[in-house]
Structure 1
Amino acid sequence: MPYTLDQLNAAPAPEAARMLDGLYEHSPWIAEQALTQRPFASLAALKLAMVRVLEAAGREAQLALIRAHPELAGKAMVAQALTAESTHEQRTAGLTHCTPEEFARIQRLNADYNAKFGWPFILAVRGPRGTGLSRTQIIEAFERRLHSHPDAEFQECLRHIHRIVEIRLNDKFGAEPTLGNLVWDWQEHLAQYSEPSYAERGELTVTYLTEAHRACAAHIAQTMREVGCDEVHIDAVGNVVGRYHAATPGAPCLLTGSHYDTVRNGGKYDGRLGIYVPLAGVRELHQAGQRLPFGIEIVAFAEEEGQRYKATFLASGALVGSFDSAWLDQTDADGVTMRQAMQTAGLPGTLEAIAALKRDPAHYLGFVEVHIEQGPVLNEMNLPLGVVTSINGSVRLMGEAVGTASHAGTTPMDRRADAACAVAELMLFVEQRARRDGDSVGTVGQLQVPHGSVNVVPGRCAFTLDLRAPSDAQRDALLADVRAEMQAIAQRRGVRFTLEETMRASAAPSDPAWQARWERAVQALGLPIFRLPSGAGHDAMKLNTLLPQAMLFVRGQNGGISHNPLESTTSDDMELAVRAFQHLLQQVASEC
């Protein structure tokens, strides 16, 4: 029979320690020290208590713990000398059935890894969902992490140890993250839709109103119907809108959601997590036959990334009345206008239809969004959830430097008007100037030398610029300094610059009351409140101009990387996000 938290909290110390035996490999002291903090409000609180014990123990104790772990598919496995827990985990991942070639490859990786780092490679082989990584995934992770910096890899090993412990603890207590698994599976199913040239390479790319994008919309709409939304439709910009009615007709709605488009070769969770977490909440309400004093409107926003057209946030912008009429005449790389793309997708493609999407704030309580963090902070803090205090203001620009193309062999260095070098100098200034603020960031994400040649001094160089800061004033000061330096570089190098602003978003501080609701929801799960700003832009920053808003961040794995196929989170963390969302709903219901 699985243990219960009440049993653990009430048991004498030796018995409680026996209940937690086998969590940390040959290291019972971690659980024993954590037990001094009883009673625990939740398993999540117990997990975090053990994390903090190990953090306080120091590097030598941490290194000893890492070295207590067996190699993957190593000698201990062959000799059947693993602990019962490790045996189960390696068997679940199929490591006990490696082909001779796979086994030999893993052995070489083990040897190379140990030679570089001096400790065994640690990987939670049961994976983010707990059902096991494939041998291919394990080998890919092995090869990728072999190139890590030792300090970063040391911490990554500890994080994987904590994930192993989390899964083992779930097993002991019969705690399955059912809703987290559901959200995980929904996102996996949605990831089957990708644009053809990317799908062929196993990459995920879904840009505005492509066939893959329209397939995603249809799939999300079907899920909305299945979970119990009373109304589902696709609106004039491609948003998928699902409404779960209030107990009383005409009651206001809580607006929530996020985007379902992706960057090119992106991850499965950016945006999409914020669609499926509230859908899981609606599913639970529907299955329980429960109606709240307010309605819930979930919007899967059709566009947030600005990948196909220079019209970032057009989908959430339509809801606040900020859709720019000039966007309809923009063309993509194939010369297709946005209006044409809309009409091909069966949308009206008219300003009148789009203008009708603007929401009346009198009909809404506010807007909340759940999102993967897209950064390393929660991952490094070993915290599953964080409450967002504000979203950074940002500005995006497209620029070009124009110099003189000339022969690379005959043009002396002091006679050149090298457009690429001018942009390179500007790039370094952006990096240095943003660092000066401490919390500003600046990025040149695209760089091109049109018609460039190996033996020609670049005459043109196109680039993008992305600047972000916690306040509009700080962002604008950064941009002003970049513009001034750009002109100085132009004069010094004999080139000219053009710079076109393509997007500007104001900083969006969280509404205090809604932020406090998220904080109470996190606290109710037995977790500490951790506040952090968002460096990335989100649909919430557009809704902020119309409604009070606040966001909840969910920890990402692999260093918190995003806009990358390695973007990931666990079903356990997603379970906590769903539970926090449910708690927020109940708070609001009690206030109505």
Structure 2
Amino acid sequence: MTPPSILSLERLNAATATEFTALLDGSYEHSPWIAERAAVRRPFASLAALKRALVEVVRESSPDEQLGLIRAHPELAGKAMVARHLTAESTHEQGKAGLTDCTPEEFTRLQQLNADYKARFGFPFILAVRGPRGQGLARSEIIATFARRLRNQPDFERAEALRNIHRIAEIRLNEKFGFEPLLGQQVWDWCEQLAVHSEQDDGLTVTYLSPAHRACAAQIAQWMAAECGFDQVGIDAVGNVVGVYHGQDPSARRLLTGSHYDTVRNGGKYDGRLGIFVPMACVRELFRQGRRLPFGIEVVAFAEEEGQRYPATFLGSGALAGQFDPAWLEQVDGAGISMRDAMRQAGLPASLEAIAALARDPAQYLGFVEVHIEQGPVLDGLDLPLGSVSSINGSRRYLGQINGQASHAGTTPMALRRDAATAAAELLLFLERRAAQVPDLVGTIGLLEVPNGSVNVVPGCCRFSLDIRATSDAVRDACVADTLAELQRICERRGLGHEIRQTLCAAAAPSAPAWQARWERAVAALGLPVHRLPSGAGHDAMKLHDMLPQAMLFVRGLNAGISHNPLESTSCDDAELAVRALQQLLDHLAKDTA
């Protein structure tokens, strides 16, 4: 479907309210009231600002109006499609996804899913079938998503339906304005293409110095050199891929940026990698324009951040910060291969001298910025594509064990039990209450295990983990102290013993105010509201924080922001905005340093 004429912001801003609504007709299915209410928010400085205004109208509408918007959409491959009663926009979208060419089996399956979904939620299943790139999802993916979302809770699924409606409207608006997110598509395509290198056929797994990992490094280096125009490209002594784009003076200080390319087991395609490819896209544009900035740009694809093959983490960024622990070289993986031997097999020198030489001189750098997919539900829940990271949470982790007495479940009276599992459950609920009392504090007991447990035995032992994180070390440590004290009280009251040991302590890394302000200025320049949020996950920026001022930009993840999971996803439009934000930051920094 091709719009009769390309719409422009100038025309839209100058139109009467009636004309404005008519120009945006079809953006939201059978719901002109959204455009009517957005008209008063003019003028719009960017397409992103227009999209946001329409989103805000829906967010501010009543629950009944939101439900009416959902119900205005047709079922996928439903009766309206068969009878050809769909709007032109819906006909185009369902055809793009191949839903007009279903096999009899697929059509039958979709009809059953439509019926089950309507019975469970009371409204039609809504999915942006054009997908994150806008080219159309495969029918098998549509059916799998349909089946998966049937398991959601009603309130969550209603919000997910609205999020997909906004994505549908975004694609329709792109077509009205003749806009194609080419930079975002390039970033998205690089992520997809890099994901062909994996240690498993049915998922994405790339651990440190595996064949897949080395293939990723070679591919990133090739793209940097051949497609992006970096002046220097190389793979260093720990496997980092380093690309340098000189400034107007090759000896000028550099802006350091990048993220990691290793993954967790069966992970997502965008975690870490988005932060490599966004700055690569910026350098590619500078190179194509023949443009040099007053500073250089150094993009590092960090070799390791996830700690999957060896117990050590942040090997890549740690080496640049001068924090590579010599003992790491002697660690062995599950197959008994030491890190030193793995390095040698990968053609790396595996010497402390070569690794120590990677440490950067802070005087040669302006700072460090990192783009990263959020890995959480906040931005997705707010319908915001970008967020400014205020701090990377400091964390403490522990492994503990509560010791009681295993006994017969039928013959041991309740008052005489020494149940280790109920003590752990009591601690879990305490931590949940304690962490909820303070903003940006989180506490998790993610591992609970009763060794040799049995259905008819009172648990005599319970092993557990403890993970407490906060934006400040003081807040984190106060929660740790309270939780450990509560563990002591619970065990004394119940006549139990316990042991606990700390396995990790990472300091909080608050963003440098000046650099956080640069990100926020860039986001605002795109016509988007600025939203600040902490990062609960660890990032390479934590290591660079020890030597350089740092700040991060989060990019919304789809599917409720799920990460470390094959469902991890982002759209080309959001990737485009991330590239544009970094370009804005570079331009502003160029003026500040000229």
CA-CA distance at 1:567 after TM superposition: 1.4
| CA deviation after TM superposition for structure 1 residue 491, in Å | 4.2
**Deviation readout 1:305-353 (Å, 9 max, x if unpaired):** 2222222223212211222233223333333332233233222333222
Partner of 2:282: 281
Q: Secondary structure at the match of 1:503?
A: strand
Instruction: Give TM-score, length-normalised by structure 2.
Output: 0.94
Counterparts of 1:215 and 1:465, CA distance in 2: 36
Correspondence for 1:79: 83
How far did residue 457 of structure 1 move?
Answer: 5.9
Map of 1:221 onto structure 2:
221
Match of residue 246 from structure 2? 245
Question: Which position in structure 2 is the counterpart of 1:317?
Answer: 318
- Matched with 1:107 is 111
Residue 411 of structure 1: how far off its partner (Å): 6.8
User: 2:176: which partner in 1?
Assistant: 172
Residue 260 of structure 1 and its aligned partner are, at CA, apart by: 1.3
| Superposed displacement of residue 455, structure 1 | 6.4
Map residues 391-540 of structure 1 onto 2, 5 A cutoff. Answer: 391-401=392-402, 420-449=421-450, 461-492=462-493, 496-540=497-541
Alpha-carbon distance in 2 for matches of 1:570, 1:148: 22
User: How far 1:404 moved relative to its partner?
Assistant: 5.8
In the alignment, structure 1 residue 575 sits paired with structure 2 residue 579 = no
Equivalent position of 1:119 in the other structure: 123
Kept after mapping to 2: 8 A contact 1:311/1:503: no
Q: Does the 8 A contact of 2:557 with 2:568 survive in 1?
A: yes
8 Å contact from structure 2 (residues 440, 534) kept in 1: no
Secondary structure of 2:183's counterpart equals: helix
User: 1:311·1:502 contact (CA, 8 Å) conserved in 2?
Assistant: no
Tell me which residue corresponds to 1:129. Answer: 133
Q: Which residue of 1 aligns with 2:206?
A: 206
For residues 535 and 566 of structure 2, what CA distance do their matches in structure 1 show?
A: 21
1:188 deviates by 0.6
Task: Using the TM superposition, give the Cα deviation of residue 497 of structure 1 relative to its aligned residue in structure 2, in angstroms.
Answer: 3.7
Corresponding residue for residue 184 of structure 1: 188
Q: d(CA) in 2 for partners of 1:566 and 1:546? A: 35
Query: What SS is found at the alignment partner of 1:437?
Result: coil
> Is there any run of 5+ residues in structure 1 with no aligned partner, and where?
none
The alpha-carbon distance between structure 1 residues 341 and 444, as it changes in their structure 2 partners (threshold 3 A), is: farther
Higher mean alpha-carbon deviation, 71-80 vs 409-418, is at: 409-418
Q: In structure 2, what is the Cα distance between the partners aligned to 1:507 and 1:125? A: 40
- CA deviations over 1:229-271 (Å, ceiling 9, x no partner): 1112222222111111111021000000111122222211111
| RMSD between aligned residues | 2.2
Residue pairs, 1:149-168, within 5 angstroms: 149-168=153-172
- Give how far 1:5 is off: 1.9
What is the aligned counterpart of 2:73 among 69, 73, 79? 69
Confirm or deny: 8 A CA contact 1:207 1:308 kept in the other structure. Answer: yes
* Shift in alpha-carbon separation, 1:190–1:355, aligned structure 2, 3 A: same
Distance in 1 between residues matched to 2:416 and 2:204, nearest whole Å = 46
Q: Equivalent of 1:39, from 43, 51, 55?
A: 43
Q: Tell me which residue corresponds to 2:355.
A: 354
Name the aligned partner's letter for residue 372 of structure 2.
Answer: H
Cα separation, partners in 2 of 1:297 and 1:392, compared to 1, 3 Å: same
Cα deviation for residue 8 of structure 1 reads 1.9
Decide which of 8, 15, 24 is 2:12's aligned counterpart.
8
Supply the distance in 2 between the matched residues of 1:446 and 1:312 (Cα, whole angstroms).
Answer: 20
The equivalent position to 1:58 in structure 2, one of 53, 56, 62, is: 62
Deviations 1:549-574 (A, max 9, x none): 11111111111121222111110010
3-state SS of the aligned residue for 1:232?
strand
| 1:13/1:412 CA distance change after superposition, 3 Å | closer
* Partner Cα separation in structure 2 for residue 496 and residue 539 of structure 1: 38
Contact 2:259–2:272 (CA<8 Å) still a contact in 1?
Answer: yes
Q: Is the 8 A contact 1:312 1:503 kept in 2?
A: no
The one-letter code sitting in structure 2 at the alignment partner of 1:297 is E
CA 232–398 in structure 1, closer or farther in 2 if over 3 Å, else same: farther
Secondary structure, counterpart of 2:371 in structure 1:
strand
2:387 aligned residue: 386
User: TM-score, normalising length from structure 1?
Assistant: 0.94
Measure the CA separation in 1 of the matches of 2:496 and 2:347. Answer: 46
Return the letter of the residue paired with 1:27.
S
Question: What letter matches 2:484 in structure 1?
Answer: R
Q: 2:396, 2:502 within 8 Å by CA — same for their partners in 1? A: yes
Q: Deviations over 1:280-308 (max 9, x none)?
A: 00111111111111111111112222222
Structure 2 distance, partners of 1:351, 1:418, is 50
Distance 2:204 2:259 in 1: 18
Note the alpha carbon deviations across 1:196-229, whole angstroms, 9 max, x for none: 3xx2xx2222222222222222222222212111
Between the aligned partners of 1:463 and 1:212, the Cα distance in structure 2 is 34
- Checking the alignment, whether the CA contact within 8 Å between 2:392 and 2:537 is kept in structure 1 is yes
Cα distance, 1:476 vs. partner? 1.0
Tell me if the contact between 1:310 and 1:502 (Cα under 8 Å) persists in the aligned partners: no
Q: Distance in 2 between matches of 1:17 and 1:461?
A: 62
Contact residue 342 and residue 348 of structure 1 kept, 8 A: yes
Q: Deviations over 1:423-457 (max 9, x none)?
A: 44433333333223343112233344556566666
CA–CA separation in structure 1 for the residues paired with 2:343 and 2:216: 15
Q: Secondary structure at the match of 1:399?
A: strand
Q: CA deviation at 1:581?
A: 0.4
User: How far apart, CA to CA, are the structure 2 residues paired with 1:43 and 1:70?
Assistant: 27
* Compared CA separation, residues 60 and 452, structure 1 to 2 (3 A): closer
- Could you report, residue by residue, the CA deviation over 1:91-128 in whole angstroms, capped at 9, with x for unpaired residues? 00111011111111111111111111111111111011
Q: Structure 2 stretches of 5 or more lacking a match?
A: none
Amino acid at match of 1:288: Q
Q: Please list the CA deviations of residues 165-200 of structure 1 after superposition, one character each: whole Å capped at 9, or x if unmatched.
A: 10001011110000101111100111112223xx2x
Please state whether the residue corresponding to 2:324 is helix, strand or coil: coil
Take 2:132 and 2:288, find their aligned partners in 1: how far apart are those partners? 27
* In 2: Cα distance, 1:466 partner to 1:347 partner: 35
Cα deviations by residue, 1:351-406 (Å, 9 ceiling, x for unpaired)? 22222221111000000011111122211111111111111111223334455666
Checking the alignment, whether the CA contact within 8 Å between 2:20 and 2:35 is kept in structure 1 is no
Whole-angstrom distance in 2 between the partners of 1:299 and 1:470: 26
User: In structure 1, what is the equivalent of residue 559 of structure 2?
Assistant: 558
Q: For residues 419 and 340 of structure 1, do their structure 2 counterparts lie closer, same or farther at Cα, with a shift above 3 Å needed?
A: farther
In the alignment, the residues of structure 2 paired with residue 576 and residue 237 of structure 1 have an alpha-carbon distance, to the nearest angstrom, of: 32
Task: Give the whole-Å Cα distance in 2 for the aligned partners of 1:236 and 1:411.
Answer: 61
**1:477-531 per-position Cα deviation (integer Å, ceiling 9, x unaligned):** 1222222233344445555444333322211111111111111111111112222
Q: Distance in 1 between matches of 2:463 and 2:245?
A: 47
In structure 2, the residue corresponding to 1:155 is in which secondary structure? helix
Query: Residues 318 and 6 (structure 1 numbering): CA distance in 2 closer, same or farther, change over 3 Å?
Result: same
Identical columns (%): 68
State the SS of the aligned residue for 2:300.
strand
Give, in whole Å, the separation in 2 of the partners of 1:266 and 1:454: 34
Which residue is equivalent to 1:148?
Answer: 152
User: Is the 2:522–2:582 contact (alpha carbons within 8 Å) kept by the matching residues of 1?
Assistant: yes
